[in-house]
Amino acid sequence: MLKATEYFSKMASGLSSRVINRGITRTITGPWNYVAGKRCEPCDSSGSMKVTEPAVGQVLCEVPISGLAEVNHAVASARGVFPTWRKLSGRERGQKLMAASRIIRENLEDISKLEVHDTGKPIWEARVDITSCADALEYYGGLAPAIVGQYVPLHGGSFAMVQKEPLGVIGGVGAWNFPMQTCVWKVAPALACGNTFVYKPSQFTPVTAVTLAEILTEAGVPAGVFNVIQGEGETGAMLCNHPDVAKLSFTGSVPTGVKVMTAAAQGIKLVTLELGGKSPLIIFEDADIENAVKATLMANFLSQGQVCSNGTRVFVHRRIYNEFIKCFVAATQKLKIGDPFAEDTTVGATIHEDHAKKVLSYITSAREEGATVLCGGERVMLEGKLAGGWYLSPAVITDCKDDMKVVKEEVFGSVASVLQFDSEEEAVNRANNTDFGLAGAVFTKDIQRGYRVANAIEAGTIWINTYNLYTNEVPFGGYKHSGVGRENGHAVIDYFTQSRTIYVEMGDVDCGPLYQD
Ligand code: NAD
């Protein structure tokens, strides 16, 4: 127990903690693992991966692939510090997360540039992503002291306490489209709850998870609380199968999600899965067309269309279809494809060549199945150093049918399929005719209809009269094959804690006729 004076001086030093930022690497340089509080080479590695910079198509860095010994080392590091980290008060943990948030805000420009090198997304979008990382650390830093249990009064003065306990070491595996944000959305609440963490970023975007690790160390988070190991699927599988990992938190595709859930089942571990989508955006005849067009751009073409919650099935009421298409195509053709570091660029580079070719194959299949490509859907060759990047023009496809491949499958690229509908009931039925259920939206000026349709769409997030807005205050996650569990909001606390109930008997034991004097 601290004495009152010690307590207040400790609180004061926490509150005024100076943000220094000495330890943040601002260049693309290894070592790429971060274990026990520092950057390090893996203690074993099975080769290395050449990471391509999407904007230029050249090698950005070469990263050693972590083997089982390194996975063991990282998990042991997280496990070793778990008793110390969990014993801090929520306020103490929260202050460190808040300090990390401040460091991110102070270094926003440098971190955003690292994210652009890693992903090829436009710099303005990277700034939004990195700001959202600071927001998440601030939100869960603030929430940490409020993660408390329950006191339940029972008969005769007896009572029970329900404690909210951390789970232990969390194993996180991430995707490449929002590298640092995906990581922070897991790490901030997990650490706030008293867990420790080992994270494996996508093999395509290894950079900013290590930056986050440096920032957490700078903010006073003890060595070993957050660790990063690099590698491909095999390294991810080793982490997921590790017996000392208590819970898996995964963001990625449905097929990999199945493997992660299988690993969780085999080890009786909790699991959160944030998976893909094929979300519907329903635009009724009374919608404000300009707003609907703006939202359809946000629902399809942010981050080169590589967004899980994208509304790529755009259902437009027949009565406004022609007007909508005219405005939507005109707005799409104004998007500026170019250097992701240029301030006026709105479309950057696709993550890598194979993915770009996959996106283009959906354009080909759409044509073969009878759809019309009104604009885009081609590789755009840029000049100079950008000539090696895969830049695709955003595509608007019409004459679509619900059973076309491009309409049914997640493309994960800038391809909007526009479909016509006549009635509310028809739109809802067709919107729900999918195994996915991540998100959706409805555009209408009729609030009753908007709310009714939002209630009828089978998805974890529905926007009324907007699209693709996220905030840490509300949960995000999928229905059906789009996932299990939620991230963000208070809801996520339940996914990173377990409850322990302690009954306290205040009287004599009453065991009925079992005991005879
Ligand atoms: P992916 O499934 O190919 O890979 C995701 C991660 O899993 C990578 O780090 C990869 O190395 C790892 N991995 C591969 N095999 C593994 C295994 N057997 N065990 C453990 N880890 C393994 O996905 P991706 O191409 O990186 O990302 C795109 C997908 O992610 C899309 O489907 C997109 O919709 C989805 N996504 C979802 C959300 C969300 O919040 N719902 C957010 C971003 C991306």
User: Which atom in ligand 1 lies closest to the alpha carbon of residue 487?
Assistant: 40
State the pLDDT at residue 46: 84
Alpha helices in 399-511 (DSSP H): 405-408, 424-431, 447-456, 491-495
Please, are residues 246 and 166 in contact by the beta-carbon 8 Å criterion? no
Q: What is the CA radius of gyration of the chain?
A: 25
pTM given for the model: 0.95
Convert the pLDDT of each residue in 48-106 to its tens digit: 999 999 999 999 999 999 999 999 999 999 999 999 999 999 999 999 999 999 999 99
- pLDDT in the model for residue 22: 66
Mean pLDDT of the chain: 95
Does residue 12 or residue 434 have the better pLDDT? 434
Q: Whose CA is nearest to atom 21 of ligand 1?
A: 236
Cα–ligand 1 centroid distance for 21 (angstroms) = 31
Q: Which residues pair with 197 in a beta bridge?
A: 170, 226
Q: Which two tokens stand for residue 266?
A: 């085999």
Shortest-distance Cα residue to atom 30 of ligand 1: 252
- Specify the residue with its C-alpha closest to ligand 1, atom 43: 308
- Are 245 and 269 in contact by the 8 Å Cβ rule? The answer is yes
Does the Cβ of 305 fall within 6 Å of ligand 1? Answer: no
Q: CA-based angle 175:218:20, to the nearest 5?
A: 125
Ligand 1 lined by 251 (C-beta under 6 Å): yes
Taking the centre of ligand 1 as the mean of its atom positions, its distance from the CA of residue 175, in whole angstroms, is: 4
Query: What are the tens digits of pLDDT across the range 400-459?
Result: 999 999 999 999 999 999 999 999 999 999 999 999 999 999 999 999 999 999 999 999
Helix (H, G, I), strand (E, B) or coil at 310: coil
pLDDT, position 293:
98
Closest CA to 442 of 259, 237, 296: 296
Question: Do β-strands 38-40 and 33-35 pair in parallel, antiparallel, or remain unpaired?
Answer: antiparallel
Q: Would you state the pLDDT for residue 21?
A: 65
Residues present in the chain in total: 517
Given a cut of 60, whether residue 15 has pLDDT beyond it is: no
Ligand 1 pocket test: which of 118, 129, 177 has the largest number of ligand atoms within 8 Å of its C-beta? 177
Q: What is the DSSP letter of 19?
A: P
Indicate whether 9 pLDDT > 60.
no
Express each pLDDT in 321-357 by its tens digit.
999 999 999 999 999 999 999 999 999 999 999 999 9
Residue 229 Cβ contacting ligand 1 at under 6 Å: no
